[in-house]
Amino acid sequence: MAILTQASSRAVLALAVLFAGLYAYAWRNPLAADAHLIDPERFRAVEVERLKAGLPDPARVRVRDEFVAGSKPWIVVCGEVNARDELGNLTGFRRFIVGPSFKAMGGDVEGGVMDALWSAMCARKR
């Protein structure tokens, strides 16, 4: 450390102090398991909007019976969606499961697989 000039010493010291302060802050404010997740109602709204945005003609997409389900890290929104296909025809209501890093829709995945996913991920409502 003797080779450090005064300016460099000050910069290193400032970083060390900042780190120590943040470490203390992190220690005193641990985040509980789900504390940093948004509330279910808001999570539902965000995920439904994202689902709609990924479908053709988002403004006309209809969603019903949606609810938040699962537990961390697999918190998802389950429900039914009626959207238009690529030809512009309504597909009719079909089940969907959507989460921050997951999306499955009836019709896109096989019926048996969708049933299994539904029972695994949507059984536990929040």
Partner 1 sequence: MNAARPSQHLRASAPAPAPPAPAPFSLFAGDWMQSTYADLGLGSHRRWYKTKRCAAAILVTYLPMAVLAWRQGLVEGAVSPTNFFADFAAYACFLVGLPLFLIAEIVIDTSTREAAEEFMSCGVVCPEDAPSVVRVQETLRRWRESRAPDAVCVLLAYALSLAILVPQFGHDPLPTWHVAGEPGSRHLTAAGYWAFFVALPLLDYVWLRLIFKTLLWIYYLYHVSRVRLALLPTHPDLTGGIGFVSEAQGRFAVLILAYGISNVAAPVGYQIAVQDYELTAMPVWGPIVGFIIGAPLLFTLPLFMFTKQLYRTKRRALSAFRERAVEHLRDIEKRWLYTEHRESLPEELRMPAEQTMLDGLYGRIHHMRVVPFDLRSLGQLIGSTLGSMATLLPLLHSRSEINEAVDVLGKLLEHLGGSH
58 is a site residue for partner 1 (CB under 8 A):
no
The first and second tokens of residue 118, run together, are: 């539904």
Instruction: Please identify which residue in 13, 17, 22, 113 interacts with partner 1, judged by CB under 8 A.
Output: 22
7 is a site residue for partner 1 (CB under 8 A):
yes
Neighbours of 118 (CB within 10 A): 17
Q: 3-state class of 82 per DSSP?
A: strand
d(CA 47, CA 67): 11
107 is a site residue for partner 1 (CB under 8 A):
no
CB 62 within 8 A of CB 82: yes
113 is a site residue for partner 1 (CB under 8 A):
no
Name which of 54 and 111 has its Cβ closer to partner 1.
Answer: 54
Cα distances from 66 to residues 25, 51, 88, 97, in angstroms, run 38, 12, 24, 9
Residue 40 C-beta: closest distance to partner 1, Å: 12
Instruction: Please identify which residue in 73, 110, 115, 123 interacts with partner 1, judged by CB under 8 A.
Output: 73
- Using CB under 8 A, list all residues that contact partner 1: 3-5, 7-8, 15, 18-19, 22-23, 25-27, 29-33, 35-39, 42, 45-46, 49-50, 54, 72-74, 100-103
